Amino acid sequence: MKKTSLKDLPSVHQVLLEIKDDISLHNNYLKFIINKELDKIRGEIKEGEISKSPQELLVYIIDRVLIESAPQLVNIINGTGIVLHTGFGRAPFNGRALKGIADRLEGYVNLEFDLQTGKRGDRQDHIRDHLSAL
């Protein structure tokens, strides 16, 4: 196989066209990931460490972008014996509480709106007494 040259690299636009239906991320973030991968491969080409056809390069970059853009937070099992392990991000939500939160997030809420006066309120009003009780 002939030596890979920089002109064999696909354009950012070409990679975006190939993956547009597979990933639902903002284009600017996708471009950032694609450019990062292209920069890595440019370095490898300059060092003579890579020998791929233009099509193989495109497939390789798409694979790397899919890996880089995959969700990185996943559910795990806490087998440490420590109930609230700070390395695990937060305490788990109770299913009923989580449904209640989801119901509130579905539409607009009166976060900074006082329903009694019809004027702008303070977002802390909703939790001040709860926090004081703790």
Residues of the chain scoring pLDDT < 70? 1
Query: 91: buried, middle or exposed (CB in 10 Å: 19+, 13-18, 0-12)?
Result: exposed
Nearest to 38 by CA among 68, 10, 66: 10
Q: Which residues are bridge partners to 114 per DSSP?
A: 119
Query: Would you say 68 and 23 are in contact if contact means Cβ atoms under 8 Å apart?
Result: no
Domain ranges across the chain: 6-69, 96-133
Cα 8 to its chain centre, rounded Å, is 29
Determine the pLDDT at residue 55.
Answer: 94
Determine the pLDDT at residue 134.
Answer: 72
Query: Would you say 44 and 94 are in contact if contact means Cβ atoms under 8 Å apart?
Result: no
Q: For 74, left (φ over 0), alpha (ψ -120 to 50), or beta?
A: beta
Determine the pLDDT at residue 1.
Answer: 57
Query: Would you say 23 and 69 are in contact if contact means Cβ atoms under 8 Å apart?
Result: yes
